[in-house]
Structure 1
């Protein structure tokens, strides 16, 4: 902890790292419930802790309002110090890990949810057979994790551009298309594209503007099923609930779904394997990334949408 926080202060008023970490979490979340999620604690625990810190130091770090917690000047000063300390601790951790030349230890890998379920187990198993002293923790999800904050050491990420602080390799195109079940197509009739029912991954409605609807508001009534879990959306489409919008490697591999459009070129991303630049000298990270480059490159046709051609019902081509 910086000496400035210790000098000339009686022990009961000193801010320790646990206090700063708590203040930083509340500053970032602007609420106790959000800070509880960040720190993995309960709302009541966070409430007791911040009250205790303020009572012990005699400093009010937050103004309490019905809409949330707002930093005071003292809160902003504490947040600035906490961020500096956090960055130094994280940089030290990356530096120490980056000097590790042993092919053993644990690696935290983040990747898309469907990839984690379908492809990652086999890829990881083959890697671990060759490197039995390395353990893999897999973190599925659509949100981008922060490699700077060591939320993961390796990221398999679909994006248009890799972060400046990241090191890695572009594997191939990562494309999306529209899919529907044969049963849905048989009963939906000859509707224009924007009038169909849709099953969407939460947060992707805006992606389909203006390709299907002119505005998000126009599309909202047509979305009959939404879920954060891509597998749930895939299964809803396969059950005939409506047209679904999926990465090609997911939709093309599902025999229950027909592709009803070409890949939507304007939404194309690139598939990358990334790590933080400070970790490029870590032996186990290098070994895993090399393995992933080979495994994913062999599947480039899946991610690029070259596995399943559209059916004769190609909504985007016919301009419905």
Structure 2
């Protein structure tokens, strides 16, 4: 019995629909339907009941679920072991991070890393959703979290601080310090599951939220138009020439930035080396992430001309 057939059965059982299984497997809806029908025909058994709400395992087939999950875990563990061997020799390193960290810091460090290590190719996956390391969707993650989940191991690079930001013109016209008296720009899934989502649910009524986004980069862009207040990472809010911190809401949130990998991958010399490099690189940006950023001094045209004259 081929595992390739069984993984279709497991995906449909987990997702409950053909379309959900297709998304999880990265294939077409029709492919899932064809593979399930072929499996049932070949084995001479009906595995799923077709209902108006989707596909359900038949009572007789429900006992298959536990061994299917066990096989899935074993296959994924084998994939990680093979990948670990490959990474020690050659090949790409897949790094996943959020758009906030990528824009503020990581993209520049990736470019620097590539220029210094020609033999290693970095695949940078920018995604604000959870990445499943069991499915080998990434080798290294750079993510904010209070603590790492049990299946990940890594190093703390620095902290990341968040404040409330708005344009000066918005704050001049809205000086009240009541949450409900303002227009707020809120988070959408998957960010609603973060500490920012929890803070919003505690403090801001739904009626006060004018717009939601699944991206802090997107929220910053909207906040820069003057539409309302947004709780943003300082690494996005402080460098913006159009935003200032809202003193009427001085509270700040903070968490940690981790550079981590799956515990089965930590034996890879290459993964360890790449992780250590990025921990040090991101650590150099601690002032930016932790709210101590100061704008670089910009020379005026006259200063630049004087510098040229002095060097002549």
The TM-score by the shorter chain falls in which range?
0.7 to 0.9
* 1:123-142 equivalences in 2 (<5 Å): 123-142=109-128
Number of aligned positions between the proteins: 288
Alignment of 1:44-55 (within 5 A): 44-55=30-41
Task: Write out aligned runs for 1:153-232 (5 A).
Answer: 153-190=139-176, 192-203=178-189, 204=192, 206-209=197-200, 211-213=202-204, 219-232=205-218
Structure-to-structure mapping, 1:31-46, within 5 angstroms: 31-46=17-32
Name the CA shift for 1:171/1:120 in 2 (closer, same or farther; >3 Å). closer
Per-residue Cα deviation, 1:125-153 (whole angstroms, up to 9, x for no partner):
11112211111111112222222332211
Bigger shift: residues 240-249 or 88-97: 88-97
Task: Specify whether residues 104 and 63 from structure 1 end up closer, same or farther in structure 2 by C-alpha distance, changes over 3 A only.
Answer: same
Q: Is the 8 A contact 1:279 1:285 kept in 2?
A: yes
Report the CA distance shift for 1:177/1:191 in structure 2 as closer, same or farther (over 3 A). closer
1:136-189, Cα deviation, whole Å (9 max, x unpaired): 111112222222332211011111111222221112222222111122223335
SS in 2 for 1:170: strand
Q: How does 1:236-255 map to 2 (within 5 A)?
A: 236-255=222-241
Q: Distance in 2 between matches of 1:280 and 1:24?
A: 28
Q: TM-score, normalised by structure 2?
A: 0.84
Aligned-residue Cα RMSD (Å) equals: 2.3
Determine helix, strand or coil for the equivalent of 2:180.
helix
Structure 2 residue matching 1:175: 3-state secondary structure: strand
Whether the 8 Å contact between 1:180 and 1:238 is mirrored in structure 2 is yes
Q: TM-score, normalised by structure 1?
A: 0.82
Q: Report the CA distance between 1:40 and its aligned residue.
A: 1.4
Distance in structure 1 (CA, Å) of the matches to 2:55 and 2:170: 48
1:293 paired residue number: 279
| Contact map agreement 1:101 1:282 (CA 8 A) in 2 | yes
Following the alignment from structure 1 to structure 2, what is the Cα–Cα distance between the partners of residues 173 and 119?
Answer: 13
Contact 1:153 1:285 in 2 (8 A): yes
What residue is the counterpart of 1:84 in the other structure? 70
Are the counterparts in 2 of residues 20 and 79 from structure 1 also a CA contact under 8 Å?
no
2:107 aligned to which of 97, 121, 127: 121
Distance 1:45 1:181 in 2: 51
- What do residues 225-264 of structure 1 show as CA deviations (whole Å, max 9, x unaligned)? 1122332211111111111121222222222111114453
Secondary structure class of the residue paired with 2:134: coil
* Conserved? CA contact 1:99–1:281, under 8 Å: no
Distance 1:210 1:202 in 2: 12
Residue of structure 2 in register with 1:313 after alignment = none
Unaligned runs of at least 5 residues, structure 1: 1-14, 214-218, 309-320
Contact 1:104 1:133 in 2 (8 A): yes
More helix by share: 2
Q: Would you say the 8 A contact 1:174–1:303 is kept in 2?
A: yes
Q: How far, CA to CA, are the matches of 2:181 and 2:269 in structure 1?
A: 53
Distance 1:294 1:71 in 2: 49
Q: What is the distance in 1 between the residues matched to 2:184 and 2:146?
A: 26
The residue matched to 1:199 in structure 2 has which SS?
strand
